[in-house]
Amino acid sequence: MTLHSSERRYTGRVINLDVDTVRFPDGSSGQLEMVRHPGAAAVVPLLDDLHAPDPRVLLLRQFRHAADGVIWEIPAGRKDAGETPLACAHRELEEETGMRAGRMEFLTSFFTTPGFTDERIHLYLASELTAGQHAREGDEFIELVPTPWSAIRRLIAGGEIVDGKTLVALLYVDAFRAIGRGA
């Protein structure tokens, strides 16, 4: 696609909304509503060695208005202007959990919903955690829940983890990091 023009229709604290006029691959033109987002980082915080028999992850139970209740999540948040994804991951981990990572390993990046937004989330695996200081925002109501990997698998299989970034991150780690199975 080729962008012909873009008109900002809304500017907000978290997102912006543009109406883009584009040329499609077949040569036709049309308008698309695009939610613009600065991107985010999300972190799988390991409390134990990755290869322990049943390593624990520090999951969040967080109130989300859009979900009309409390859902399971991993720490995550929006990048600040000029902030790298890695710096964002470190900052969000500490702000939401009060923990600092001695090691932060990049996993992957993905677009959340490319049909209408350019939001991209960068996933990390945090280990060697030490106590820091949480600094939650006024709309963050979070319970920290150390969760064994076996319970995470049950929560996923039972449809209890419904947050997309959390599912992608946990399933990525399970598939590619040999959790609890040795390396």
Residue range 94-146, pLDDT digits in tens: 999 999 999 999 999 999 999 999 999 999 999 999 998 888 777 778 899 99
More confident residue, 69 or 141: 69
List pLDDT tens digits, range 24-56. 999 999 999 999 999 999 999 999 998 899 999
The candidate with the shortest Cα–Cα distance to 38, out of 100, 120, 130, is: 120
Confidence of residue 182 (pLDDT cuts 50, 70, 90): very low
The overall average pLDDT reported for the chain is 93
Cα–Cα distance between 169 and 16 in angstroms, integer? Answer: 26
Domain boundaries, the chain: 2-36, 40-176
Which residues are identified as catalytic? 137
User: What is the CATH number assigned to the segment(s) 40-176?
Assistant: 3.90.79.10
Q: How many CA atoms, within 13 angstroms, populate the side-chain half-sphere of residue 41? A: 25
> pTM for this structure?
0.91
